Amino acid sequence: MSKMIKPWIKLIALIIALPILSYISLRVGVIPVGHTDVLALGSDASSQAMIALNDNRIPRTVVALLVGSVLGLAGLLFQLVTRNPLASPDILAVNAGASLAIVLVTLFGFSSIASFTSAALVGAFIAGVIVYLLSANGGNVMYMTLAGASLAALFSSFTQSIIAYEEGALDEVLFWLTGSVAGRSLALVTTLLPWMIVASLCVLLISKELETLSLGDQVARSLGQNVGVIKFVAVTLAVVLSAFGVALAGPIAFVGLLAPHLARYMFGTAFFARLAGSALLGSVLLLSADIFGRLVLFPREVTVGVVLAVIGGAFFIYLVSARQGVFKS
């Protein structure tokens, strides 16, 4: 069935899903927000519903849409470049590296948006470089996954111990670290938004190059591609996108793993659609998971990080066990 429908129709369907999910996201939560409240957006009414919308629902919806798309895109880039179906920003320790760096700068008293973001970028890069060096011998899929997973564990334990010792100073960061789209400032969103758009457009611009790379390094080189340059650009973009995602929403797991696989299932070899689809599916996934987290234990909220860890963990196990070929190459 999935072959009968044209890729662009599926893309449009995904694009249509975004405002629908956003509308649901604005309505769902402890404080009741009605249809008329959503329609009254922008007016300076100071009802309880309007406060909930402006201070909570709108920021978290925007953050979920943005973070989902950058993580989905970053995950696909990592999977393409490393040829590792288990690669994603969280499994390759990039998210954990960014988180640790953010906790460190907060510990030393920096709390500006700029320091927050640059810490995330630096941490993500360092983690990426370490995983690359650890798995450089042949680029074996197994080595890379293990190196990434163990480095991620190491980084998170550093992060945890810093928090254990400096609990008071890091109150703010604590909530952020659980991976949540709620309680984020719109200031950070508006600062990062243009950069996210630029980075995402860059990914779409090198779509043809990435597609050619999927034939293997040797064939891509024989076809006249500067394989090293393309890989470097792709990984850099993936690290930057992941760092933005972490800076906004904390270390959110599994979106970067799940979205590209769903996109592959939906779009097959329609490559450009697969790229765009990964981003859109990332948004759909993260926003749906956030809405689900608000409903599942109503009136209490489960953070989106926890929801995704449960769904994504199961999916990861499925990937490893069902696709037995994964570890053989």
Q: Tell me which residues touch another protein (CB under 8 A).
A: 205, 208, 212, 214-216, 218-219, 221-226, 268-269
Smallest gap from residue 273 Cβ to another protein (A):
13
Identity of residue 156? S
Residues with Cβ within 8 Å of 316's Cβ and at least 6 positions away in sequence, in order, are 86, 254, 257
Smallest gap from residue 213 Cβ to another protein (A):
10
Q: Which is nearer to another protein, 10 or 60 (CB)?
A: 10
Residues with Cβ within 8 Å of 179's Cβ and at least 6 positions away in sequence, in order, are 249, 250, 251, 252, 253, 303, 304, 305, 306, 308
Q: Cα separation of 192 and 147, whole Å?
A: 30
Smallest gap from residue 205 Cβ to another protein (A):
8
Token digits for 218?
Answer: 């040797």
Smallest gap from residue 225 Cβ to another protein (A):
6
Q: Cα separation of 230 and 188, whole Å?
A: 30
- Strand-pairing partners, residue 300, are 297
Q: Of 284, 325, 304, 324, which is closest to residue 21 (Cα–Cα)?
A: 284
Q: Which is nearer to another protein, 162 or 213 (CB)?
A: 213
Neighbouring CB atoms inside 10 A of 286's CB total 31
Smallest gap from residue 90 Cβ to another protein (A):
24
Token digits for 320?
Answer: 């490893």
Q: Which is nearer to another protein, 9 or 205 (CB)?
A: 205
Does the CA dihedral 200-205-206-207 come out positive or negative? Answer: positive
Q: Which is nearer to another protein, 3 or 300 (CB)?
A: 3
Smallest gap from residue 215 Cβ to another protein (A):
6
Q: Which is nearer to another protein, 153 or 215 (CB)?
A: 215
Smallest gap from residue 257 Cβ to another protein (A):
18
Neighbouring CB atoms inside 10 A of 46's CB total 9
